[in-house]
Chain A
Amino acid sequence: MPQLDTSTWSITILSMIITLFLVFQLKVSKYYFPEDPKPALVATPKPATPWEKKWTKIYFPLLLPL
């Protein structure tokens, strides 16, 4: 059986080690799997009530003429 001829074993094992542990791992290490970025939940601002749209002097308590 030619597989049991040990004269060629060293070169076969050496080439396998180079291929498996160097070449293939260098290629697979360059694979990147992009994450799926999900948009962050943006808090919708509360719609301004009519009396808050206009800033008037009376909202400063310390400025009230009392």
Chain B
Amino acid sequence: MNENLFSSFITPVMMGLPIVIVIVMFPSIMFPSPNRLINNRLISIQQWLVQLTSKQMLAIHNQKGQTWALMLMSLILFIGSTNLLGLLPHSFTPTTQLSLNLGMAIPLWAGTVITGFRYKTKASLAHFLPQGTPLPLIPMLIIIETISLFIQPMALAVRLTANITAGHLLIHLIGGATLALMNISAATAMVTFMILILLTILEFAVALIQAYVFTLLVSLYLHDNT
């Protein structure tokens, strides 16, 4: 049962070929490139959504931070589309892989920290000591702030992995329970089915929310450092 439950999280390999490349690149097909002066409805709707999101997200940044607009927008599109496509049955969700999330979180977080060190060295170092701390607490507080700085990319990666994995596991488990209960008692199976429906709605929300949270936090780290 253990092996069966986690089998959807194994990186897919078909006949020795790593098709995970194709799966990771697949969501980009959902976003066609605008090539014409007046585009079709799909592209126009996507452009409008990206404009809405970027205005909301880049409002708090100054000139320096707004150069990250392209990065943040493609980040939220990538995570959102990957999570939503993962809700299809039997699909593989790349964002359940800790490797992918670490590979996203560490370079982005490091980019924000290095930007802060390059342009505002004193101010970014000053983040380690909040204003008005009593003198004897200073060494301990610097250690705590350093730890909390270095835990930021880990938290980003593990948060996304854990949330999406947990949601998928719950759907598997409750779906399996509904199936098993159908032969025993139809009424209980109905109840479990309702739970499944509610859970799926929740997972849609979680898919989008996680993308948003990831991008928001990266943008927040950026704000601290520009």
Q: Which residues of A come within 8 Å of B, CB atoms? A: 1-6, 8-9, 11-20, 23-33
CB <8 Å contact, B25 and A19: yes
Q: Which residues of B come within 8 Å of A, CB atoms? A: 6-7, 9-11, 13, 18, 20-21, 24-25, 27-28, 31-35, 46-47, 50-51, 70-71, 73-75, 77-78, 94, 96-100, 102-104, 161, 165
Give the A-B pair count, Cβ closer than 8 A. Answer: 98
With A23-B28, A31-B34 in contact, do A12 and B77 touch (Cβ < 8 Å)? no
Main secondary structure of the interface of A (DSSP, over half): helix
Chain B's closest residue to A14 (CB) is B21
Chain B's closest residue to A23 (CB) is B28
CB <8 Å contact, B74 and A11: no
Main secondary structure of the interface of B (DSSP, over half): helix
Contacts of B33 in A (CB 8 A): 26-27, 30
B100 touches which one: A6, A16, A27 (CB < 8 A)? A16
CB <8 Å contact, B11 and A33: no
CA distance A55 to B93 in the complex (A): 83
